[in-house]
Chains A and B, each alone.
Chain A
Amino acid sequence: MSEKRIQWFKFSSPGNFFALVEKLLPWLWTTALITTALGLYIGFFVAPVDYQQGNSYRIMFIHVPAAWMSMFIYLVMAVYAFITLVWRIKMADVLAASLAPTGALFTFAALWTGALWGRPTWGAYWVWDARLTSELLLLFLYLGYMALHAAIPDRQRASRAASLLALVGVVNLPIIYFSVKWWNTLHQGASVSVSKGASMDSSMLAAMLLLSLACWMYAIAVSLTRAQAETLDRERGATWASSLAAAQAAELDEDLETTSEGVPVQHTW
């Protein structure tokens, strides 16, 4: 019976984590690229012009995924921060720290694309309404988290401080999400809901969902790659890391081309 159970804890070991990510990365990137291409095609060549907003609504296809990612990544980061604080698992801290820059990127993208959508549609790049302000706060939380990790020299103290900030900031997520319901905001209400379905043309929904998936695959690929680098940096000198580097170097040697005289051709990366 016990051999059928998956030993999840083995992935908290850096060596196993690294190897698992290596296997996942090609799938993640391939999916990201395919869904991006499909989503963009549908968004620009299939979805019709909106009778009220003209073409500016097409910004929604990246604005909404960016906003969703900004919130979802923060939630995952906060979960890892909680695990770091409570169980002191180092890999959890690595993963939280690896997610932060990507989360910050999507938050900035949501604010930027929102501003560029807001100007032609509602006449303003920015208003201090509940949703926009709380999304801006989210960006500050990400940057604060990264700053704490960077500024505190002792890694354990840095992890603890940053994790605390991440957890305290979780209260911002329901504020962002429910702001359009709780307050009179300029930002529109939910067009896509789990219970009520979508109130938009199906081609628009398809483009948005495809690009959401693309952003999701991208975010996982990038943050896991960052986690691999972070793991290597933290574990330099450990046996698993030395064997891995040796194996990769051996692979590179095998791939070396030779000229007709048998001299290895040097490739610059």
Chain B
Amino acid sequence: MSVMEFLAMGGHGPYIWGSYGVMALLMVIEARQVIARKRKALSLQHAAGHGGRS
């Protein structure tokens, strides 16, 4: 099967890739957002530890 045939998925390509694409995008966005939030919380904590009580 050629790459073009694989992408076309017998005419169902837009539905299939629209599904997988959106789901992958959502999961990547969520994962990045959550990891960024954790890093920020850690750095805020580090700053508080230095400036505030030990």
A residues sitting closer than 8 Å to B (CB atoms) are 44, 49, 54-56, 58-59, 62-63, 66, 101-102, 105, 108-109, 112-113, 116-117, 119-120, 218, 221-222, 225-226, 228-229, 232-233, 236-237, 241-242, 244-246, 248-249, 269
Given contacts A55-B10, A222-B30, A226-B34, A116 and B41 within 8 Å (CB-CB): no
Task: Choose among A102, A120, A241 the residue that contacts B45 (Cβ–Cβ < 8 A).
Answer: A241
On whether the beta carbons of B23 and A62 are closer than 8 Å, the reply is: yes
Chain B interfacial residues counted at CB < 8 A? 33
Given contacts A66-B23, A109-B23, A229-B38, A102 and B30 within 8 Å (CB-CB): yes
Docked complex Cα distance between A244 and B12 (Å): 51
0/1 interface trace, chain B 34-47, chain A, CB 8 Å (1 if under) = 11011111111110
Which of B16, B18, B40 is packed against the most chain A CB atoms within 10 Å? B16
Instruction: Collect the chain B residues with CB atoms within 8 Å of residue A56's CB.
Output: 9, 12, 15-16
Docked complex Cα distance between A101 and B30 (Å): 9
Instruction: Collect the chain A residues with CB atoms within 8 Å of residue B16's CB.
Output: 55-56, 58-59, 116
Docked complex Cα distance between A165 and B16 (Å): 35
Instruction: With both chains docked as a complex, state the minimum distance between the C-beta of B22 and any C-beta of chain A, in angstroms.
Output: 6
Instruction: With both chains docked as a complex, state the minimum distance between the C-beta of B10 and any C-beta of chain A, in angstroms.
Output: 5
Q: In the complex, which residue of chain A has the Cβ closest to the Cβ of B46?
A: A245
Instruction: With both chains docked as a complex, state the minimum distance between the C-beta of B8 and any C-beta of chain A, in angstroms.
Output: 9
Cβ-closest 9 pairs across A and B: A232-B41, A242-B49, A245-B46, A245-B45, A55-B9, A113-B19, A229-B38, A56-B12, A116-B15
0/1 interface trace, chain B 1-42, chain A, CB 8 Å (1 if under) = 000001001111001101110110011001100110111111
On whether the beta carbons of A269 and B39 are closer than 8 Å, the reply is: yes
Instruction: With both chains docked as a complex, state the minimum distance between the C-beta of A187 and any C-beta of chain B, in angstroms.
Output: 16
Instruction: Collect the chain A residues with CB atoms within 8 Å of residue B46's CB.
Output: 245-246, 248-249
